[in-house]
Homo-oligomer: A and B are copies of this chain.
Amino acid sequence: MSKHSENTEFSIPEPTLKRLPVYLNYLQHAKESGLLTISAPVIGKALGYDHTQVVKDIAYTGAKGRPRIGYNIYEVVQHIENFLGFNLKNEAFLIGAGNLGTALMAYPNLKDFGIQLIAAFDSDPDKTGKTKSGINILHTDKFKDLREKLDVRIAVLTTPAEVAQQVTDFIIECGIEAIWNLSPVHLQVSANVIVQNTSMYSNVAVLLKKWQHSKKTQHNK
């Protein structure tokens, strides 16, 4: 695959992209507790990041801080939301209304964190026709028509592993452009489709390895 074709806009570091929602979540709680301003060192200490990291990440969003005072919380929240496109109504379809799908339909504030689920689809007639957390579960038959009618471009995939790839091929053919993949399968798609694979297993691996390592080094001490 070619390197990035010349970008007028420089691209944002992916680690920054992943930290920004963490800041956002933290800042929204801070805001609720009545604070008006907050400094990068405070955020850093709370979330375990170096304070310069926080300053640089926030700078990406365009928010400006004031020496000795820090940032206006409301302003930073606005800038992060703007920057990430969270204030746009990014409407998405959920594919697969199993346990994980149900969990996402009920996931708190998902629509404030970028994605608004407006319908769910499943091929199992036992699941379709119902409503969960206010979201209708429809039969996959209706996917193509509804996608066009509502002009939805984003899908969240929570099907069983066995059908994940074939369902992916189908929804891309129907016009889906971006997929958040929560199935435990690494999807293969053509270059014009964006996939974000979220492997639960990866996190388990990191946790276990850190834990095993900490146990080893503890009785070496």
Contact = CB atoms under 8 A, between A and B. Distances in A.
A73 interface: no
A217 B5 contact: yes
Nearest to A12: B209
Contacts of A202: 17-19, 21-22
Interface string A95-128: 0001110111111111001110000000000000
A131 interface: no
Contacts of A41: none
A53 interface: no
Please state the number of chain copies in the assembly: 2
A19 B197 CA distance: 11
Interface in A174-221: 177-180, 184-186, 188, 192, 194, 196-218, 220
A146 interface: no
A62 interface: no
A154 interface: yes
Interface in A10-50: 11-12, 14, 17-22, 24-26, 46-48
A107 B114 contact: no
Contact of A99 (B103, B113, B192, B197): B103
Contacts of A194: 207, 210-211, 214
**Which of A47, A179, A184 lies at the interface centre, i.e. has the most chain B CB atoms within 10 A of its CB?**
A184
B184 A207 contact: no
A90 B184 contact: no
B154 A85 contact: no
Interface of A: 5, 7-9, 11-12, 14, 17-22, 24-26, 46-48, 84-86, 90, 98-100, 102-110, 113-115, 153-154, 160-161, 177-180, 184-186, 188, 192, 194, 196-218, 220
6 contacts: A17-B205, A85-B212, A113-B205, A115-B204, A154-B211, A180-B203
Given A8-B213, A25-B185, A196-B210, 11 more contacts: A8-B220, A18-B203, A22-B202, A25-B186, A46-B188, A85-B208, A99-B102, A110-B200, A178-B210, A180-B207, A196-B206
